Amino acid sequence: MNSPDHINPEQLLSILFQSPNATAVYTGSDIKILSANSAMLKFWGKDRSVIGKNFTDAIPELIDQPFPDILREVWNSGITYYAKNYPATLEIDGELQESYFDFEYKAILNEKGKTEFILHTAFEVSERMAAQKLVLEKSVSEQKLNEELSAINEEYTATNEELSSTNEELMTAENSLIKLIAELHDKEKRFRFMIEQSPVAMASLKGENLIVDIVNDIVLNIWGKDRSVVGMTLPEALPELKGQPFLGILKKVYKTGKPFYGNELKVSLSHNGNLTDRYLNFVYHRTNVDGAEEHSILIVANDVTEQVLARKNVDEINTRLEIALDASSLGSTEVHLATGVMKSNDQFKRNFGFEPEEEFVYADLFEAMFPEYREKVKALVKESIRTNGIYKAEYPIKWRDGSTHWIQAHGRPRYDENGKGDRMVGMTLDITDKKLFEQQKDDFLSIASHELKTPITVVKACLQFLYRIKDQPFSDTHIRIRQILQKRPLRKRVFRIGIRSIYMQSDY
């Protein structure tokens, strides 16, 4: 054990940082992370930005797990804590994953007997737990087999009483069965069985030449091959890998012993003579046998082609939707009702007088809306959530520069897994020009209606007067009336032209 008289904390941190074992150092009652080496950061699924943060701030998914309380207890008591086969749920690449660990929280005390640091070392034992589970299952199978063998031996014993002459043959058979049971315990058999029965694609490549040693049906399906590839080198079994990076990666893993993790990497494989692109998540891990010069590489893979292509299709659809929205000047948004956070496109923000780079939240929308419309729109939103229907509304807004604009809005709610409406997806259109035109049209029609009433009254009066003097000789009175009637249609034609102009513009 290192003594504080021989190594200072800075040297200790430097040494621990270089260790291949997962190591971290904490200090303070709030468990501040002083240091964490690459192995520990990999366990956490984090990068070096967590250094200097409190433990729960750096790894928030552990807040409701026992580890923060255990660390505080070690800090306060100065008593080291050790655990084996302990489960932990960590966020790796955006997904929560459960793994098992052997770990120790070692209290480093100062000369006053108080905790000054906590040294955290950990080893992932998920594979060991899986192996123990497999061993347990095998033990049950062996027990059942032993029970069956016991029953057979009872039958053999009964038979021996009647057929003593066959005793030697029965003993030979019993020895053969014992030898078979012993072979089932052989490590290589278990390893082969584990690979071949694995629910994921697995293969084992032997030696520096990457000879295909063990494969299961799932990996053969990904490769597009059958079991005739067993015994071939991988370049012989999969010649299409030439020019792709995978053979080089495998040779590097074999040489260095450092595992390689591939995430959604594209590989071209030959299926029935046709090259097919697939996307794989995989790991290459060298298995070391003590004292052996030849190693093997274990391949574990998962075909994620469908997921990757589906995501790309969604991205393409979203791109096309954005183009369509931009072309139609439609604003789109998704608002989280509990927080007011909105994910909006640029046009949506422009409709409310905001620049694309500015933050725009749900409260800003109602702040811009004229006060007398706010409660009505909120009621429409609540009703659409209650009925799972579409809400439609038109309302005026005031931009921050004081100008007035009109918005036409459509929206529909989205629900969480419990059936609670938690989001609203909506679209908006600036209809200010349309509203302005409608106002101009109403004003014009009002004026036109007033102006048309006067000439119609005059025409009626002239017709009535002409009727009364129809039997009289043609005179100057007839001429004046005719002149009046000839002027009136011209005025009406002017109004008809104005009305026709209005309706032609309203067709846009």
What share of the chain in percent tops pLDDT 90? 55
* Region class of 243: left (phi > 0), else alpha (psi between -120 and 50), else beta: left
The pLDDT of residue 482: 64
Strand order of the β-sheet with 404-415 is 342-344, 331-336, 421-430, 404-415, 391-398
User: How do residues 13-38 score in pLDDT, each as one tens digit?
Assistant: 566 666 778 999 999 999 999 999 99
- Residue 75: C-alpha distances to residues 32, 80, 238, 293, 375 (Å): 11, 9, 56, 46, 54
The pLDDT of residue 1: 44
With 70 as the cut, is the pLDDT of residue 491 above it?
no
With 50 as the cut, is the pLDDT of residue 106 above it?
yes
Mean pLDDT of 119-147: 88
User: How do residues 195-247 score in pLDDT, each as one tens digit?
Assistant: 878 888 999 999 999 999 999 999 999 999 999 999 999 999 999 999 999 99
Match domain 9-124 to its CATH number in 2.10.109.10, 3.30.450.20, 1.10.3720.10, 2.60.120.10: 3.30.450.20
pLDDT-derived band at 494, boundaries 50, 70, 90? very low
The dotted CATH code for 328-430 is 3.30.450.20
- In this structure, what token pair is assigned to residue 482? 């005719």
Phi, psi dihedral angles at 346 (to 5 degrees): -60, -40
List the domain boundaries for the chain. Answer: 9-124, 129-185, 202-309, 328-430, 437-506
- In this structure, what token pair is assigned to residue 291? 């004292």
Q: What value does the mean pLDDT of the chain take?
A: 83
With 90 as the cut, is the pLDDT of residue 161 above it?
no
- Which of 147-156, 159-168, 244-253 is the least confident region? 159-168
- Which of 1-5, 71-75, 157-161, 401-405 is the least confident region? 1-5
Match domain 202-309 to its CATH number in 3.40.50.1980, 1.10.10.60, 3.30.450.20, 3.30.499.10: 3.30.450.20
Let me know if 28 is exposed, middle or buried by CB neighbors in 10 A (0-12, 13-18, 19+): middle
- Which of 14-28, 47-61, 83-97 is the least confident region? 14-28
The pLDDT of residue 434: 87
